Amino acid sequence: MPAKHRTAPRPSRRPVANKSSAGAPGGMQRRRFLGYLIAAPTLAVGVKLTADGVLEAQALPSPTPEVSEVYDLSDLLLDSTRPTANLITIVVNEDGTVSFSIPRAESGQGITTTAAMLIAEEMGIDVSDVNVTLADARPELLFNQQTQGSASVISIYTPVRVAAALARGQLVEAAATILGDEAENLRTTGGRVLSTAGSSVPFAELAAAAANSVTREAITELKPVDEFEVIGTPQRRDDVLAAVTGRKKYTMDLDVPEALPTMIARPPTIKGTVESVDNLAEVKGMPGVTDVVEISTDAEPGRGTTSSAVAVRARTFGQCIDAVNALDITWGGGNVDDESDATILEQLRAADAPANLPSPGPLDEAGGVLPLVTEPATGALDGVGAVETIDQEFVFYWRSNAAMEPNVAIADVRDGEAEIWTPSQIPIVTQSQIAQVLGMTPGQVTVHVPRGGGAFGRRLFSDVALDAARVSQEIGKPVRLMWHRADECRAGRVHPMCISRVRASFSGSEVVSFEQRHTSVATDYTESFGDMITSQAAKLPFANELTLSQTVFLLTASVPYDLGAIALGYNEIFDFDRFATGSVRNLNNQDFRPAQELMVDQLAARIGEDPMEFRLERVEDERAKACLETVRDEGDWGRDLPEGVAQGVVVHNEYKGSVAVLVEVDTRTATAEREIAGATTGPRVTKVTVAVDVGLPINPLGLKAQMEGGVMTGIAHVFTGSLHLRDGNFLEGSWDDYRYTRHWNAPPEIDVIVMPPSGDRPGGAGELAVGAATAAVACAYARAVGEMPTSFPIGHTKDVPFEVKPVVPPLPPSPVDGLTAYPTPSAAGPAFNPAS
Amino acid sequence: MPPHTFKVNGRPVTVEVEDDVRLLWVLRDLLKINGPKYGCGINVCKACTSHINGRAFNPCSVPVGQIRPTDEITTIEGLPDTVGADLHPMQEAWIDRDVPQCGYCQPGQIMAAVDLVKKVQAEGGSVTDDDIDEIRNMCACGTYARIREAIKQGAENM
C-alpha cells in the first residue's frame, strides 16, 4: 500500500553550511557545491545544470569550445554579461511554497514528483508544497534540456539538491535574527525554521527577508544520504488529483484564443507528396471550415526527403475530419512505395556486415548458414574439447509505440514571432527547427512545454510542431493542430524493422563464444540522441549516420552473462530518413535482448542446465545477481505448473541499474482461445515478478509504475503489437488495429520488488524494464509451447485480424452508433489468438 | 445551424452546430469541457468514455443531433456530483493506488469502471477479474495492474 502523500520528515540537525564564496570556506572534509543567490523580490537561488563534479566549488566550469556551433558568439557575449542566465532556479514564494521550473518533459514518467521530493528533502518542506512546472525551451541550457535515455533523474539529482540546500541555508540565516538563535542551532521541517527553544517561523515569513538584492556566488553542502527522510519513501504523483478529475491540462486543453482545430490530409503512402488539390473552393465552403492550405511536411528541414500534405482548419475537429476526407487530392508517389515487410526482410538479410566486425566469409553465405563472423565450429578446439554451435535468426517487425495523446501542437505565428505549445522532449531542437522553417531566429520563437499524455521517445521529434508552425504562418492565424490516430499509425515515427542473428558455441558445459549481429532499417537519431552538436554534425553533407546509430547501439547493447568470447555488431539499411523512424522506449534492447535471452535458454537446454541456474552461474554483475535471486525466491521459480504454462526469467543492466523479470505464460486453449468480442486474446502472462535495483531509489511508488508499464509494453512486443508494411504504407489505422496490451492481456498478478539502496546515486527507470520484460515473456512462451519463436510479435505473420482502413480518403470517419454499440466497438469481430 | 439543448454535468446547455458533429467535439471544442479525451475518434480506444443518463457511452461516435433535450450527459468533471461529494469513490481509489502515469486515458478509465461496477452491482454481483478483462479502455503507459486494484477498491465504497 502506498504511504500517505504527506510525509513528516524528522527535523534535520545538519549545521547551516551556506557561506558567501568571498568568505573563508571552512570544513573542507565534505564536498562543497557552488551556486548563486539571485537578486529577486523573494528568495531565489540557482545552480548550473551540469555534471555534478563541476558543481563542486573547487572546480568551476569553463565554456566548451564546440558550443559555438549551435550557440553563436553574439549569444555568448550577451550571456557573458548575465552569469546567471543558464541556471536552474528555485524560488521561495511569499506563501511559503517553493517553485521550480524544470527543463525536462513530464509525460507520465514522474520526473516532476521526483524533483519535488529532492527539494522537499533538502529544504525541510512538505512535498506537496513544492510546485514543479516545465520550462519553456531555453537554448542557453545547450544540451541540458532533453528528456530521453532514462537520464532525467540521474542528471538533476545533484544540481536540484544543491539549489535547495542553498535556499534552506538562506532561510535559516534570515530566521536566526528573528528567532534570536545561532543559525547552527536551527533546523527546518514542514516549511518552518525551528529553534532549539521550540519557537519557529514559517518559510512564508522568511521568503522576502531572505531575498538578495545583488546576485552573488555561494557555496553549500548537501544533506548526507544517511539522513534522508523523503528520498526513498513512496510518493504519489504531483498531478494525480488533476488527472483523475479531468482538470489536468494537456496541450489540446489549453485556452489559446483563436487557435482553432486543425488536421491534416496525408498522402496514401509514406512521405508522399501533393500534386494538386482539385476541389479547394468546395472544401473551403464546408461547414465550420475556415482555411485549407497545402504545407510541406518535411521533417528534416534543409536536407533529406520531402513530403507534403493539406491542412484544414475548422470550428471543430469533427469538421476537420469531414473536410480532410472530402478533399480531392492528386497524390504523387511516396518514398517507399515498393516496399513491404517481405522486401525489407530480404534487404535486411542481404545487408553488408557491420563496419566494426570483419566481413562474413563466403562459406557462410554459400551454405545458407547465417553470415556471421565466428566460425561455425564442429570439431574440437585446443583445450576445450568438442564444440557445438547454435545459429539462429530472429525477426522483429515494425512497432508504433504511440502514446494515448496523439501528436499535438498549438502555434501562433504572426507579426514576426512564433509562440508554440507542444509536449516536446527536445524543446531547444524544436525551437531551432521551427526558426529554420519559418525563416526566423530562435529568439523569435517561444516554445512552451505542457505536460504530455505519454511520450515513449515519439516526442523527441518536432514533426507536429513544424506542421502547426507552417500552417499558422501560411494562413496568418493561430492553430490547434492534432494528428488523427490514423496519422499516428501511418505517418508516425516507428521503431524500425530489424533482425538479430546469433551464433553461440559451447563445449560440454562451457559457452565458448557468443556472437550477435543486429541489422536494422535505419533509425533516425538525428534530432534526439547524443547532443545537439552531434545532431548537427550528423546532418552535414557526407556525414555517416551509421556511426551515430552504431554509437547508440554500442552504448546500450550488453550481454550480462559470461558467455565466452563475445562479438556484437550493428548495421543498417537505407538513409536515416527513408522511413519516419525514431528512438522508441528502450531503443535496440527491446529486440536485441529478447533474441539474446532466447539463445541463452537454448544454451541452457543444450548444456542441460536449469535456465535460472545457468544465468545465476554466469551473471557478471553482483547487483544483477541479487535481482535474479530475488525473483527466484519471490516468484517461486521452478514451481509446479500445468502443461502449457511455463516460466521465463531474464536479467538486464542499463541506465546504471539492474532489473530481473520472471513471468509465467499460460498458453492452454482455455486461456488462449478466450472469446472477447474484437479482442486479440491468445496466450496470457498470468504472473509477473520484477526485482529492480536503481542504486538509490528516489520514489519507489513511481519506480514500480515504470516497471509495470515496461512489462505491459513487453507483453505487446511479444504477442501482438506491430505494424504491417504493405506497398509503401502501414495497414494499421487505429488502436484495435495496432494491438498494444489491453485489459484482457494484462497480467492479473504483478509484483515489483524495489531492492534496497545499493549506492548513493539514482539510476534511470523509464525504459529499464521494456527489453527485459519482452525477453522474459518470449522465453516463458517458448518453454510453454516447447518451441522457440523466432519472429516477433508472434501473431504478425499469422493474420491481419482487422478490416484494413482505406488510405484515400485518409481518415476513418467517426461512427454514429455510439448510443447503441457500447461496450462493443462498431467494428468488433471475433477474438483472435496470435498463437493459433 | 440548429440549436441543440441538453444537460451536461447538471447544467443545461445550448449549442448551435450542425447535427452531424459528434458530441465529443461539441463538448471539447465548443463547450470547453476537456475531461473526455480524443484517442481514436472511432470508438475503439474509449478515452472519451462519459455517461449518458447514467450509462457509459463514447461521445466520439454520437452525432449531437441524436442527443435529446432530456438527456443528461456526465463527464469526469461531473462525476463527483453524482454522489454529492468532492470525489467519487472510484476517483479516491485511483488516487490511493496512484494509478495514473501520463493520466490521459484515466478519465475514460474511471467512467468505464464506474459504469461496470454499477452494472454488476445492479445484477446483485460484485466486480470480478473477468469483468475487468472486458474493459476496452486503452492505456499506453501500461497502468492496467493498478486500474485493476483500484476498481476493486472503489467498488467497495460504491
Residues 190-249 of A with CB under 8 A from B: 234, 236-237, 239-249
- Nearest alpha-carbon partner for A92 in A14, A195, A204, A177: A204
Cell numbers at A566, concatenated = 563475445
The minimal CB distance from B110 to the residues A244, A743, A747 is found for A244
Q: In this structure, how many other beta carbons lie within 10 angstroms of the beta carbon of residue A671?
A: 17
pLDDT for residue A22: 36
Averaged pLDDT of chain A: 86
pLDDT at position A319 over 90: yes
- Nearest alpha-carbon partner for A18 in A47, A41, A40: A47
CA dist A114 → A110, A701, A751, B46 (Å): 6, 11, 22, 30
Rounded to an integer, what distance in angstroms lies between the CA atom of residue A738 and that of residue A792? 14
Q: What is the pLDDT of residues A542-576, one digit of tens each?
A: 334 445 677 677 777 778 999 998 888 888 899 88
Q: Which CATH class is domain A341-399+495-792?
A: alpha beta
Residue A241's closest chain B neighbor by CA?
A: B95
pLDDT at position A69 over 50: no
Q: In this structure, how many other beta carbons lie within 10 angstroms of the beta carbon of residue A282?
A: 13
Residues 578-617 of A with CB under 8 A from B: none
pLDDT at position A529 over 90: no
Q: What is the pLDDT of residues B23-50, one digit of tens each?
A: 999 999 999 999 999 999 999 999 999 9
Q: Quick one: average pLDDT of A415-421?
A: 97
The minimal CB distance from A712 to the residues B20, B66, B144 is found for B144
Q: What is the DSSP letter of A501?
A: E
- Nearest alpha-carbon partner for B79 in B69, B67, B88, B70: B88
CATH code of A19-243, in short, is 3.30.365.10
Q: In this structure, how many other beta carbons lie within 10 angstroms of the beta carbon of residue A15?
A: 15
Q: What is the pLDDT of residues A716-738, one digit of tens each?
A: 999 999 999 999 999 999 999 99
Cell numbers at A414, concatenated = 504572426
At A383, the pLDDT band (50, 70, 90 cuts) reads: low
Structure-model confidence comparison of residues A397 and A531, the more confident one: A397
pLDDT at position A280 over 70: yes
- Nearest alpha-carbon partner for A16 in A181, A197, A165: A165
A372 to chain B, minimum CA–CA distance in Å? 37
Among 1.10.3210.10, 3.40.50.2000, 1.10.150.120, 1.10.1040.10, name the CATH number for the domain at B81-156: 1.10.150.120
At A249, the pLDDT band (50, 70, 90 cuts) reads: very high
Contact A255 B32 (CB under 8 A): yes
Best of A134, A244, A666, A674 to substitute, by most chain B Cβ atoms within 10 angstroms, is: A244
| Gap between the terminal Cα atoms of chain A | 39
Q: Where do the DSSP E strands lie in A559-620? A: 565-573
pLDDT at position A821 over 80: no
How is chain A split among helix, strand and coil, in percent rounded to 5?
30, 25, 45
The minimal CB distance from B133 to the residues A709, A743, A819 is found for A743
- Nearest alpha-carbon partner for A46 in A126, A162, A133, A130: A162
In the beta sheet, which residues pair with residue A13?
Answer: none
Contact A822 B55 (CB under 8 A): yes
Residue A715's closest chain B neighbor by CA?
A: B142
Q: What is the DSSP letter of A637?
A: T
Diameter of chain A measured on Cα atoms:
88
Q: Enumerate the residues of chain B whose CB falls inside 8 A of the CB of residue A750.
A: 145
Contact B56 A237 (CB under 8 A): no
> For chain B, which residues make up each domain, given as ranges?
3-79, 81-156
Residue A105's closest chain B neighbor by CA?
A: B102
Residues 393-422 of A with CB under 8 A from B: 402-406
> Cα–chain-centroid distance for residue A820?
39
Rounded to an integer, what distance in angstroms lies between the CA atom of residue A728 and that of residue A390? 35
The minimal CB distance from A237 to the residues B43, B47, B98 is found for B98
Rounded to an integer, what distance in angstroms lies between the CA atom of residue A260 and that of residue A431? 22
Classify B43 as helix, strand or coil.
Answer: coil
pLDDT for residue A85: 54
> CB contact, 8 Å: A750 with chain B?
yes
> CB contact, 8 Å: B91 with chain A?
yes
What φ, ψ does residue A486 adopt, rounded to 5°?
A: -65, -35
pLDDT for residue A109: 92
pLDDT for residue A586: 84
Q: What is the pLDDT of residues B50-89, one digit of tens each?
A: 999 999 999 999 999 999 999 999 999 999 999 999 999 9
Q: What is the pLDDT of residues A567-611, one digit of tens each?
A: 888 888 998 889 999 877 888 899 999 999 999 999 999 999 999
pLDDT for residue A526: 74
Q: What is the dihedral of CA A658, A662, A667, A668, to 10 degrees?
A: -170
- Nearest alpha-carbon partner for A325 in B41, B46, B1, B15: B41
Rounded to an integer, what distance in angstroms lies between the CA atom of residue A174 and that of residue A542? 60
> For chain A, which residues make up each domain, given as ranges?
19-243, 251-336+407-482, 341-399+495-792
Q: What is the DSSP letter of A812?
A: P
In contact, B139 and A488? CB cutoff 8 Å: no
Contact A453 B104 (CB under 8 A): yes
Residues 95-114 of A with CB under 8 A from B: 107-110
Residue A249's closest chain B neighbor by CA?
A: B34
Q: What is the pLDDT of residues A107-160, one digit of tens each?
A: 999 999 999 999 999 999 999 999 999 999 888 776 678 777 777 888 889 889
Lowest mean pLDDT among A37-51, A269-283, A309-323, B121-135: A37-51
Q: What is the pLDDT of residues A172-224, one digit of tens each?
A: 999 999 999 999 999 999 999 999 888 999 999 999 999 999 888 888 999 99
| Topology alike, domains A19-243 and A251-336+407-482 | yes
Structure-model confidence comparison of residues A537 and A649, the more confident one: A649
Residue A734's closest chain B neighbor by CA?
A: B40
Q: Which CATH class is domain B3-79?
A: alpha beta
pLDDT for residue A141: 77
Contact A404 B102 (CB under 8 A): yes
Cell numbers at A798, concatenated = 499469422
Q: What is the pLDDT of residues A431-490, one digit of tens each?
A: 999 999 999 999 999 999 999 999 988 898 999 999 999 999 999 999 999 999 999 999
pLDDT for residue A354: 57
pLDDT for residue A408: 98
* Percent share of chain A, pLDDT over 90: 67
Q: What is the pLDDT of residues A74-97, one digit of tens each?
A: 333 333 334 455 788 999 999 999
pLDDT at position A524 over 90: no
Q: What is the DSSP letter of A479?
A: E
> CB contact, 8 Å: A709 with chain B?
yes
In the beta sheet, which residues pair with residue A46?
Answer: A36, A89
CATH code of A251-336+407-482, in short, is 3.30.365.10
Structure-model confidence comparison of residues A535 and B10, the more confident one: B10
Q: Enumerate the residues of chain A whose CB falls inside 8 A of the CB of residue B18.
A: 287-288, 319
pLDDT at position A28 over 80: no
Cell numbers at A736, concatenated = 484495435
pLDDT for residue A374: 62
**Residue A499: which H helix or E strand, with range?**
strand A498-507
pTM, rounded to two decimals: 0.92
